[in-house]
Amino acid sequence: MRIAIINGNTNGKVTERIHEAVQRFCHPATQLSMITPEIGPISIENNLDAVVSAYAVVQEILKNQEKADAFIIACFSDPGLYAAREVTHQPVIGIAQAAMVTAVQLGYRFSILSPLRRLRPVLMDIVRRYGFEDNCSGIRTVEIGVSEAAQQAEIIQDAFLDAGRQAIELDGAEVVILGGAVLSGMDEKISKLLGVPVLDPVKCAVGQAESICQMNLTTSKVSGFTFPGKKEFKKCPEPLRMVYLNSERS
Amino acid sequence: MRIAIINGNTNGKVTERIHEAVQRFCHPATQLSMITPEIGPISIENNLDAVVSAYAVVQEILKNQEKADAFIIACFSDPGLYAAREVTHQPVIGIAQAAMVTAVQLGYRFSILSPLRRLRPVLMDIVRRYGFEDNCSGIRTVEIGVSEAAQQAEIIQDAFLDAGRQAIELDGAEVVILGGAVLSGMDEKISKLLGVPVLDPVKCAVGQAESICQMNLTTSKVSGFTFPGKKEFKKCPEPLRMVYLNSERS
Amino acid sequence: MRIAIINGNTNGKVTERIHEAVQRFCHPATQLSMITPEIGPISIENNLDAVVSAYAVVQEILKNQEKADAFIIACFSDPGLYAAREVTHQPVIGIAQAAMVTAVQLGYRFSILSPLRRLRPVLMDIVRRYGFEDNCSGIRTVEIGVSEAAQQAEIIQDAFLDAGRQAIELDGAEVVILGGAVLSGMDEKISKLLGVPVLDPVKCAVGQAESICQMNLTTSKVSGFTFPGKKEFKKCPEPLRMVYLNSERS
Amino acid sequence: MRIAIINGNTNGKVTERIHEAVQRFCHPATQLSMITPEIGPISIENNLDAVVSAYAVVQEILKNQEKADAFIIACFSDPGLYAAREVTHQPVIGIAQAAMVTAVQLGYRFSILSPLRRLRPVLMDIVRRYGFEDNCSGIRTVEIGVSEAAQQAEIIQDAFLDAGRQAIELDGAEVVILGGAVLSGMDEKISKLLGVPVLDPVKCAVGQAESICQMNLTTSKVSGFTFPGKKEFKKCPEPLRMVYLNSERS
Amino acid sequence: MRIAIINGNTNGKVTERIHEAVQRFCHPATQLSMITPEIGPISIENNLDAVVSAYAVVQEILKNQEKADAFIIACFSDPGLYAAREVTHQPVIGIAQAAMVTAVQLGYRFSILSPLRRLRPVLMDIVRRYGFEDNCSGIRTVEIGVSEAAQQAEIIQDAFLDAGRQAIELDGAEVVILGGAVLSGMDEKISKLLGVPVLDPVKCAVGQAESICQMNLTTSKVSGFTFPGKKEFKKCPEPLRMVYLNSERS
Amino acid sequence: MRIAIINGNTNGKVTERIHEAVQRFCHPATQLSMITPEIGPISIENNLDAVVSAYAVVQEILKNQEKADAFIIACFSDPGLYAAREVTHQPVIGIAQAAMVTAVQLGYRFSILSPLRRLRPVLMDIVRRYGFEDNCSGIRTVEIGVSEAAQQAEIIQDAFLDAGRQAIELDGAEVVILGGAVLSGMDEKISKLLGVPVLDPVKCAVGQAESICQMNLTTSKVSGFTFPGKKEFKKCPEPLRMVYLNSERS
């Protein structure tokens, strides 16, 4: 089964790091392909970045429809997730949602660690959107820029370790979610040190995608995610390809 | 006070219709300016359209910062609202949120009328996001394409009238919200016929904008809506202007 | 447009202070009239005061129906709001609801500052009633009697400033609501010092009233706020006037 | 133990009917006293009536403090409940809350039958306030005036029987609450005919009061229900007696 | 009226202690019978214990159907409550639910004190299941084993006193619930020292049972709690007696 | 990886049917083992059955600790799930939770089809417990006994097909969950006929288990699911084996 992982940002190094982290993990039969969007921000640190990323992600899915059996949006705010589900029959997995559905199967309550304080209300919104506000013991942040985090991963690990300990001891977290694709690869080490399951959201998403593909399930097309009809889009960066694979099936 | 109303789509006729509907209504001192985005879809009928529209809306706000004291996003799914609040000090009003906050001051429960059945789950999500699920008596839809609606406004009025009656009699609605900028101008007539307050969301938004400006209030910049830092955006349709008016104030 | 602001308590000095705070703010065409109820408590500090105030407020609305196009109940627990909406076609705005609907358009989350610790559970109830529990970052209180607050406004400002700082830094508040009509006039100064929008609920209510009147909207009369029928009230302070302006319209 | 039941309205016949219904039911050691307020509406059919009733109820509690060990507010919207809990150490039971806490111990979900359609949003608010929205299968109403209901109890029983059947078959109700003190006395007959527990809220309240008194429990005085301080009330129907029994205890 | 109290665990000393605590309290006409299950754990400290206890509790109810008019499950996680309600017409009261419905009639918000930290998420689940998450100011725990608590009740009282003070001062609790049958007997003393109502859940349950029996109410049998049909149970400790008293009534 | 699927009931034919349905589906490297509990009910149709099943399930997990890397409880009410997570390090997946977390990744809203009307409130409770009440468009039931359903699967398929159509057309379901292990094997056929994703909960659970094992994740042991200590259990069917594999790790 072919799973395409779309990095939310245009930083190819982050794409590589994600690839490295998940390739050891996925099933032998799974063929991973990594996509770094052509347009968009170099990192996702706020709502503006997410809006541009959503656009980029949907465009990449439209361009790569034939090349994958499932798509993963590898950015913790799941930018463009619902639009992506609209434009393709293939399942589209958001890493934030994937991490949360995994977390609630391993403990009563999870906490999210995130690199930026400003993302707290954004993440609280996402937790609520997916229905997990009663399972979320809190969001702990470390004041580091995302791009900085990408560069000095080893050093800043300590900061997240501290945040994780506080989540467990003060907030009652039983599971910890690393809230950023950029933190990929730290999960095992932090888990050993904290003594609780620590989730890499991209890995969780690969697991969800494999499971859904294995069952031959595809996105429902009867209501909210029906294919959009064709229409004029003015002056878009490159014309949006409005031909949907298998849309005649719906 | 200068209020810029950004149509969510690229259809200039809709922009005109909105203008017509609200200009008679706003305060004499208010200077309205209407913006039709240069890029984006000709109508907003699904999540995909909303994603592209969000991008377009934010870009228009960035380009027009000096020209307005407040912005209104005139599309009922409030595309790009949170990103828009991030990139400017000026208040940004979403017409869906504005309509709902008005509705709850006129009755216990409101229903939303919408032109498309596929938008139901999308609208339910929006109602929940704003905290009004207990005030929402339902969403009634009429199966008409948005562009069709734009063209035959008078004829399809009857369809919405029927939906409104059902909302009142079967669902217990006390206030009716016309869930689409495209329905602008029908509110007074439908209200007379239904015997309940019927809200034109763009008018509601103008009211909210005027009120907030009058109090000299601006978007909070201490947490979720802090200005984004400057960063590289690759290959965006036109380079996003990342200079924020008054950002030094925050 | 004529807006009548009904002070919730019988303290004429508070009525004056409110008048002073809002008159500079409202639209030129707006005619404000201030009403100090003839009966009721000298200040509203608890549920008992609110019950008596509710009675007084409704009576004032019944007496002043012809004299206003909209009414504002200027007491932060919105005493008598739903009954008031019942007895008149004119819109009735509660300052607590008005402040909250304004706050959520300026930031993800707001905190309320209140002069009395005992009001915390009361205010939490109100926040929930209006649907904003997920937008409320907390209620911070300063242990000062309301009447005391009325007298030494300048001195106690510091106490609220401290509470505001804690709300922002510890609770994540992005907007601060001054939870008491008695605090009218402090908003601009505190806002400058805290660096976040600080809302004077009465001003917010004037904005809501102006906006709703401008749209010619009136309270819905089809379900929960239908006019009460005439009936016998025994021994009420002064006979409740049960003739409703325009009730034949419903 | 002495339990005072305060009818929410001034209709002595309703007081008698309530008395009749509950006296056979309560414990032998319980001394019931019935109070018909001196001021207020002849029936409670809307928010306005409830506001006046709240005032009347609190006044009766203040006047009768020494004469009872517990108070019951016998009106299904629990008018003045929180203020009543403030002004006295003795427990104060609202019949709506008492009925709901009983219902959830007998079935997963209950429905409320009410004499007036206009009360639906009011009752939904009350259900939410007490935390039972997930236990409430619905509110079914019969369009009869409350005073009419008081007069022709036997005839209109059929109407409620029909509403009850619909609640069970269409809404999934397992328990039925008779939502009005005025319906007192119908519970046993309707229960036999419907085949489910049918609750008389006043009886439920007597049970709650007896149980709480038996445990020597009193209203908590540490936060929201602390005794109000003494203060000036202008021109109230009769001066509110602001001396609280045992207030020195708190 | 005959009320059977089923201790959730097999520790006869706890059964005695519970008996002692409640016998002075209940109505003279009430005949209490105490049941210590024949099978199950010596104490209930986790989900595993609760599963076995649920089994034991249901079996005791099946065996004792003719001997009681109401049953109380005296273990704070209410093990087997819904199954118990299924197998008998008689009302079955869970002490956790009984305590919470009592608490909300005495204050806005309650806190639960519990002997074990690991029970926190379990108790939060229970609070939510009953609809009281907005009334719950928190769960404070003291790290003592339940069996230890059973043995040194006097000494550990101080630990709970401290936890209670924190609940009141830091969390805003107005009422305190002793979250464990094993704490029976401490309520009055702790209440005096804390100055707030402190609830013994078993007493609360006796009050609820007496009240429900007094009204001749029984568990609803129309939907979720319909009697189970007879069926084969393999190798159960002792064959489950599947004859239900009065099941022909439903 | 070794996954043990524990049938919730003692009906070996259901175990076989489940096996047949999932074996074609799982990964080649997965070794499935099927467990039919030695004790317990022949089918799970109510709360009583679930209580006995919970006991049986936990016992089977204790007995089979060394033989599996993950456990699945194959009964749609997830009996004993939390206790099972307590007694073992290995992940334990409930099929109801697994189906719901899968459903929300394929559509906004799902409906559950269930063989028994009496299970509706039970299932609503489960949906709420997992946080999916806003994603659940309803529960549709077909009045067939579970054992009957097990015997005439082909015939009764039509009944479920009808229920599914109503769920989609009337309730807005986008995904359908077959709410019972006994319905295993019908998913693909019904999906084709309904035109929406139809989930077999056991398959979903296998997918979740494979994914979690692949990531080497285990149940969190720091709070709610800490291993129980050893203690005396009286007269249990067979002595509960209280030795936990790898418990020293925690």
Q: How far is CA A222 from the centre of its chain?
A: 25
How confident is the model at residue C129, as a pLDDT? 96
The pLDDT of D86-109, averaged and rounded, is: 97
A200-204, C25-29, C217-221, F129-133: which range is least confident on average?
C25-29
pLDDT of C85 higher than 90: yes
Q: How far apart are CA E47 and CA C210, in angstroms?
A: 57
Name the helix (H) or strand (E) containing A139.
strand A136-141
The mean of the pLDDT values for chain D is 90
Q: Which residue has the tokens 């377009």?
A: B56
The whole-angstrom distance between D132's CA and the closest CA on chain E is 6
The pLDDT of C192-208, averaged and rounded, is: 97
Share of chain F above pLDDT 70, in %: 90
How confident is the model at residue E250, as a pLDDT? 43
pLDDT tens digits for range C1-35: 899 999 999 999 999 999 998 998 888 889 999 99
Q: Which of residues 132-161 of D touch B (CB under 8 A)?
A: 133
Q: Which residue has the tokens 């470390």?
A: A142
Q: Which of residues 183-222 of A touch B (CB under 8 A)?
A: none
Q: Does residue D144 or residue D26 have the better pLDDT?
A: D26
How confident is the model at residue A250, as a pLDDT? 44
The pLDDT of D163-172, averaged and rounded, is: 96
Q: Does residue C144 or residue B101 have the better pLDDT?
A: B101
The whole-angstrom distance between D101's CA and the closest CA on chain C is 19
pLDDT of E32 higher than 50: yes
Structure tokens belonging to residue E43? 């104490």
Q: Does residue E50 or residue E248 have the better pLDDT?
A: E50
Q: Does A contact D via 3+ CB–CB distances below 8 Å?
A: no
Contact F120 D172 (CB under 8 A): yes
> Which residue among F168, F200, F219 places its CB closest to the CB of A222?
F168
B6-20, B96-110, C184-198, C232-246: which range is least confident on average?
C232-246
Which residues are registered as beta bridge partners of F152? Answer: none
A16-25, B206-215, D105-114: which range is least confident on average?
A16-25
> What are the φ and ψ backbone dihedral angles of A201, each rounded to 5 degrees?
-60, -30
C41-55, D29-43, D226-240: which range is least confident on average?
D226-240
The pLDDT of E146-174, averaged and rounded, is: 84
- Cβ partners under 8 Å of residue B154, min gap 6: none
Sign of CA dihedral B190, B192, B194, B196: positive
The pLDDT of D217-221, averaged and rounded, is: 97
Sign of CA dihedral D48, D51, D53, D55: negative
How confident is the model at residue C190, as a pLDDT? 94
User: Nearest-CA neighbor of E5 among E243, E17, E178, D204?
Assistant: E17
Parallel, antiparallel, or unpaired for β C136-141 and F110-114? unpaired
pLDDT tens digits for range C113-160: 998 889 999 999 999 999 999 999 999 998 776 666 566 766 778 889
Q: Which of residues 86-125 of E touch F (CB under 8 A)?
A: 86-87, 117-122, 125
- Cβ partners under 8 Å of residue C63, min gap 6: C241
CA-based nearest residue in chain A for residue E122: A108
Which residues are registered as beta bridge partners of F35? Answer: F6
CB atoms near residue B230 (< 10 Å): 10
A139-148, C216-225, E53-62: which range is least confident on average?
A139-148
Structure tokens belonging to residue D143? 């369009």
In the three-class reduction of DSSP (H, G, I as helix; E, B as strand; rest coil), residue F41 is classed as: strand
In one letter, which amino acid is C60? Answer: E
Cβ-Cβ pairs closer than 8 A, D with F, add up to: 10
How confident is the model at residue F129, as a pLDDT? 96
The mean of the pLDDT values for chain C is 90
Structure tokens belonging to residue A54? 């959503």
Q: Which residues of C touch E174 (CB under 8 A)?
A: 121
pLDDT of B127 higher than 70: yes
Q: How far is CA F209 from the centre of its chain?
A: 12
Parallel, antiparallel, or unpaired for β C136-141 and C110-114? parallel
Question: DSSP H helical segments within F70-200, as ranges?
Answer: 81-87, 95-103, 120-129, 146-151, 153-169, 187-194
pLDDT tens digits for range A32-52: 999 999 999 999 999 999 999
How confident is the model at residue A242, as a pLDDT? 56
Give yes or no for C128 touching E (CB within 8 A). Answer: yes
CA-based nearest residue in chain F for residue E45: F228
Q: How far apart are CA B46 and CA A183, in angstroms?
A: 32
pLDDT of E59 higher than 70: yes
Q: Does A contact B via 3+ CB–CB distances below 8 Å?
A: yes
Q: How far apart are CA D187 and CA D168, in angstroms?
A: 16
Q: How far is CA A67 from the centre of its chain?
A: 19
pLDDT of B154 higher than 80: no
User: What is the number of alpha carbons within 13 Å of residue E148 lying toward its C-beta?
Assistant: 11
pLDDT of A238 higher than 60: no
Parallel, antiparallel, or unpaired for β D233-234 and C40-41? antiparallel
Contact C120 E172 (CB under 8 A): yes
The whole-angstrom distance between B131's CA and the closest CA on chain F is 13
Contact F109 B121 (CB under 8 A): yes
Structure tokens belonging to residue F82? 């939390």
In the three-class reduction of DSSP (H, G, I as helix; E, B as strand; rest coil), residue B233 is classed as: strand
How confident is the model at residue F98, as a pLDDT? 98
The pLDDT of E114-138, averaged and rounded, is: 95
Q: Which of residues 28-67 of D touch C (CB under 8 A)?
A: 37-43, 45-52, 54-55, 58
> Which residue among D120, D128, D133 places its CB closest to the CB of B172?
D120
The whole-angstrom distance between C32's CA and the closest CA on chain E is 38
Structure tokens belonging to residue E131? 């609809």
How confident is the model at residue B183, as a pLDDT? 77
R_g over Cα of chain E: 18
B175-179, C220-224, D124-128, F183-187: which range is least confident on average?
F183-187
> Which residue among F130, F196, F214 places its CB closest to the CB of A220?
F196
Instruction: Give the CA-trace dihedral at B126, B129, B134, B139, to 10 degrees.
Output: 10
Residue positions counted in chain E? 250
Q: How far apart are CA C77 and CA C79, in angstroms?
A: 6
Parallel, antiparallel, or unpaired for β C2-7 and C70-74? parallel
Name the helix (H) or strand (E) containing B234.
strand B233-234
In one letter, which amino acid is E216? Answer: N
| Contact status, residue C217 vs residue B102, Cβ threshold 8 Å | yes
pLDDT of D239 higher than 80: no
In the three-class reduction of DSSP (H, G, I as helix; E, B as strand; rest coil), residue D4 is classed as: strand
The pLDDT of B94-103, averaged and rounded, is: 98
CA-based nearest residue in chain B for residue C200: B215
Question: DSSP H helical segments within chain B, as ranges?
Answer: 12-23, 47-63, 81-87, 95-103, 120-129, 146-151, 153-169, 187-194, 201-214
Instruction: Identify the residue among C47, C85, C143 best suited for mutation to test binding to D, counting D beta carbons within 10 A and taking the highest.
Output: C47
Contact B121 F134 (CB under 8 A): no
Confidence of residue F250 (pLDDT cuts 50, 70, 90): very low
The pLDDT of E174-199, averaged and rounded, is: 91
User: Nearest-CA neighbor of A219 among A83, A29, A73?
Assistant: A83
How confident is the model at residue C148, as a pLDDT? 65
Contact C214 B105 (CB under 8 A): no
Residue positions counted in chain B? 250
- Cβ partners under 8 Å of residue F159, min gap 6: F142, F144
CB atoms near residue D152 (< 10 Å): 10
Confidence of residue D116 (pLDDT cuts 50, 70, 90): confident
Q: Which residue has the tokens 């002073």?
A: C20
The whole-angstrom distance between C172's CA and the closest CA on chain A is 9
Structure tokens belonging to residue D29? 């050691």
Share of chain E above pLDDT 70, in %: 90
CA-based nearest residue in chain C for residue D128: C129
Q: How far apart are CA B158 and CA B149, in angstroms?
A: 12
Q: How far apart are CA F246 and CA D161, in angstroms?
A: 61
Q: How far apart are CA A15 and CA A8, in angstroms?
A: 9
The mean of the pLDDT values for chain B is 90
How confident is the model at residue B250, as a pLDDT? 44
In the three-class reduction of DSSP (H, G, I as helix; E, B as strand; rest coil), residue A5 is classed as: strand
